[in-house]
Amino acid sequence: MSKKNQAQLDRLADAARQGRISRRDFMHYSVAAGLTATTATGLWTTKAAAQPKSGGNFRWGLHDGNTSDTHDPGTYVTRQNIFLAHTHRSYLTMIMGDGSLGPDLADSWEANDDATEWTFELNQEAAFHSGKPVTADDVIASLNHHRGDDTTSAAKALLTDVSDIAKDGDHTIVVTLSRGNADLPWLMTDYHFAICPANDDGTIDWQSGDGSGPYKIDSGEWGVQFTLSRHDGWHREGAYFDTVEILTLNDPNARQTALVTGDVHAVSLIELKTMALLQRDPNLVIHNVPSAAAITMPMFCDQAPFDNVDVRNAMKLAMNRDEIIEKITFGAATKANDFHHSPAQPYYPEGIPQRDYDPDQARSLLQKAGAEGLTVNLSAADSVYAGAVDMAVLYAEQARAAGININVVREPNDGYYSDVWLTKPFCLVSWGARPTPDVMYTLAYKDDAAWNESHWQNERFNELLLQAKSELDESLRAEMYAEMATLARDDGGTIIPFFNNFVYANRANVGTPEELAASWENDGARAASRWWFTD
């Protein structure tokens, strides 16, 4: 490109940042300066993004929602639950676009020397949609909702070490732990820990859907659609749209068609096999964000045939991950090694040998276990991941070389996480990204965790998990996570094909920040409050 054209593009980019040029004129002059329409669209999106504008109705299509979902934070599991919660409720802390930890309801936090006591200072301007100010009592009741013997919350395991939560005035809470936890402020970003209004008896009012997030719910039906409007009392930046509609579009074709035709402005998941085609559409912007999210395939370790470790390892060896990543994810993934610790998380253990496809060794292990000619059912649904059923079928083809017969069971999208996951002994699961390995292991691998999806019990693993939480020496902590990863790889009951990129899309007239959070799809599930219309 000539210096003259480059100078012209620089001037156009500056005009876009300052809001002095329309998208139509920007596209016209950029193409005249030598850019393709697709490149010009991407440049407009990033440069015009620097000046958010208010207004409009944002329609957002999600790929995972059930009619059985509820407003109870302890039962959140689908994207519909999670994305709606990040839109109408608040948390103590939030993950920012650059991956750092930032404030939500808590303005600041600090720990004592051994991280056994954490003090959170609350924002004094925060208010619920009902008009009630957010106080320490609301935070305490909301966290206690996930504690105690009677709680049904899936996040109970994350707060096991919390011995007391007390207030020091209306806007300060003090969390005391039985052992130090350096990750506690990160734990507060877990999507279950939404803050709800406290009742007089110390419980929470989750049923009304009241929240203190950027948007308030006007109407809605689970598994169908929610309509929200801007909360004038929102205590942070953002919330540029006047109104937001969140639609559950489990069917991938319906979801993608809605995006292409402009019926929705953004979707949480696109079909990867059409990614290259969509990238050529100047009306769309495709985001491909590496993350710590994962596809897992848990096997119930307390049920035959998976109660035999040789069978479990044979199932792992019978998978050709490279072929799956090439044909199913189209390269939008990082190869995994059967331990749930992503390279995107701290303390990643380098040097553990990669498990590769070895059907001969798998057949040998099955012979050792007396399980030759093994036949198992594998449940999957397209709402789990784009191409999830196709992936299960491809895995079944690969496993035949090891003498394993896998019957792929296509399950209904609606109700998958209530009727299949944690219920059927072998299935496909989509896990969102967690900020630290401790959070992931505590939720899904700890012996008494409600979401111990493979029913795996390993005494040494659980011993290390407790030690690592309170270990402040970084090198020692890293050694512990390396041993835990090895135990999960060699003894655990979960196959992990890959850590999937978040691949989603929006219309070109939607502005987004230059950095997109990798904690969930659509900018950490916060598209409604962080994005805006550019024209």
**Does the pLDDT value for residue 312 go beyond 60?**
yes
Q: Supply the pLDDT for residue 261.
A: 97
| pTM: predicted TM-score of the whole model, two decimal places | 0.79
Q: What own/partner pairs with CB < 8 Å and gap ≥ 24 does 144-149 have?
A: 144/202, 145/73, 145/74, 145/196, 145/203, 145/204, 145/206, 146/73, 146/74, 146/192, 146/193
Q: Is the dihedral of CA 366, 372, 377, 379 positive or negative?
A: positive
- Considering the domain delimited by 57-64+213-290+502-533, tell me its CATH architecture: 3-Layer(aba) Sandwich (3.40)
Q: Supply the pLDDT for residue 344.
A: 85
Q: What percentage of the chain reaches a pLDDT higher than 90?
A: 84
Q: Where are the domains of the chain?
A: 3-48, 57-64+213-290+502-533, 90-187, 294-500
Q: Which fold has domain 294-500?
A: Dipeptide-binding Protein; domain 3 (3.10.105)
269-288 per-position pLDDT tens digit: 999 989 999 999 999 999 99
370-389 per-position pLDDT tens digit: 999 999 999 999 889 989 99
125-145 per-position pLDDT tens digit: 999 999 999 999 999 999 999
440-470 per-position pLDDT tens digit: 999 999 999 999 999 999 999 999 999 999 8
Q: Supply the pLDDT for residue 182.
A: 87
Residue type, 302: D
Q: Rounded to the nearest 5°, which phi and psi values hold at 210?
A: -65, 140
Question: CB under 8 Å to 150, separation ≥6 — which residues?
Answer: none
CATH, domain 90-187, list 2.40.50.140, 3.30.1330.10, 3.10.310.10, 3.90.76.10? 3.90.76.10
DSSP string, 463-484: HHHHHHHH---HHHHHHHHHHH
Residue type, 301: C
**Does the pLDDT value for residue 17 go beyond 70?**
no
**Does the pLDDT value for residue 5 go beyond 80?**
no
**Does the pLDDT value for residue 3 go beyond 60?**
no
72-125 per-position pLDDT tens digit: 999 999 999 999 999 999 999 999 998 889 999 999 999 998 999 999 999 999
**Does the pLDDT value for residue 332 go beyond 80?**
yes
**Range name among 20-34, 189-203, 333-347, 497-511 with the lowest pLDDT average:** 20-34
**Does the pLDDT value for residue 233 go beyond 70?**
yes
Question: Closest by alpha carbon to 481, among 495, 462, 468?
Answer: 468
